[in-house]
Structure 1
Amino acid sequence: MTEELLDQALVEEATKKSGLIWVRGGGVPALDAPGHGAPSRALWHVWHDGAACLVGDGPGEQPLPGLADGGDAVVTVRSKDKGGRLISWSAKVVELTPTSPEWEAAVGELKGKRLNAPDGEAMPQRWARECRVLRLEPSGTTAELPDGSLAQPPLPTPATTRRPIPAALPRLLLKRRKRR
């Protein structure tokens, strides 16, 4: 019982303080390893009323792939000061109904944390029309963090191209060093 309360306190405190959480939908903590299911995605969130609240899947908002109402997710929280993995916990995904009291409370918290919103005060109405607001409620189990790296190779994209560096660049860089 004491260990469960300590785990719950660690999940809450670490998630509150972290600006980003890594979320993988449809995951099971025992399978929280590379090659199992969809990759984890970094998402901004707000801790509110015992759960991590997210907004996304709309124009200009973060994508929430693999997070379905009633489904499971694995949340990995990083340390705010060092950036390393701190704890991994399993969650139940709950989609909030727009304009319900729970939705209004969550959106009130999310609205204050949303940076660079294109529509300012009209943001909650846009979220109600075009986005999903989710709660990731801890299900009470935490997972052991793996020892090794969970780095995945980047997804292929035509946007990444490499060109030779300009011939004058080394001279420009050396001039800056000599001036100091």
Structure 2
Amino acid sequence: MTIENYMPDFVLEKAYDVTVESLQKYHIRTVFVDLDNTLIAWNNPDGTPEMRKWLHDLRDAGIHVVVVSNNKYERVKRAVERFGIDFEAFALKPFTVGIERAIKRFGIKREEAIMIGDQLMTDIRAAKRAGIRSVLVRPLIETDSINTQINRWRERRMMKKITAKYGAFDYKREM
């Protein structure tokens, strides 16, 4: 397990810092985005006005947004259906199951896709395995569901290794 398998291509404050302009600059036409603590706070299914504007801006620019979540189908559907975006539930990240399903289902080219997520151990690792670019963002809120708390413990250990070798991540406001 090399730490390079957990190194994101970009490190940003939040998903909404991924702008239409930056996606166009990197020729990205599809954004895969994690659900809990990335797109929405895990305990706030309604999202924020900022999130809705971000989704609207991407859609208007012709950029396809697909939520890729480890959550159950009903949970993801309930969270995203009001926003009119596609999703893959039960994605099994850090494996590529959900990403691969979305790539096939929508005919996505890997070089035109990016994965945005708040966890190194699931989101970034799955993107690396799938051969797509990745963006690590800070979690929207400090608390996590019980399942995520276990991953956070593993993530802290990996972060220490990354920081020792490369220095701490510098969270930016643009790609």
Q: TM-score, normalised by structure 2?
A: 0.23
Q: TM-score, normalised by structure 1?
A: 0.23
Higher helix share: 2
- Greater Rg over alpha carbons, structure: 1
Higher strand share: 1
- Relative contact order: is structure 1 or structure 2 higher (C-alpha 8 Å, sep ≥ 6)? 2
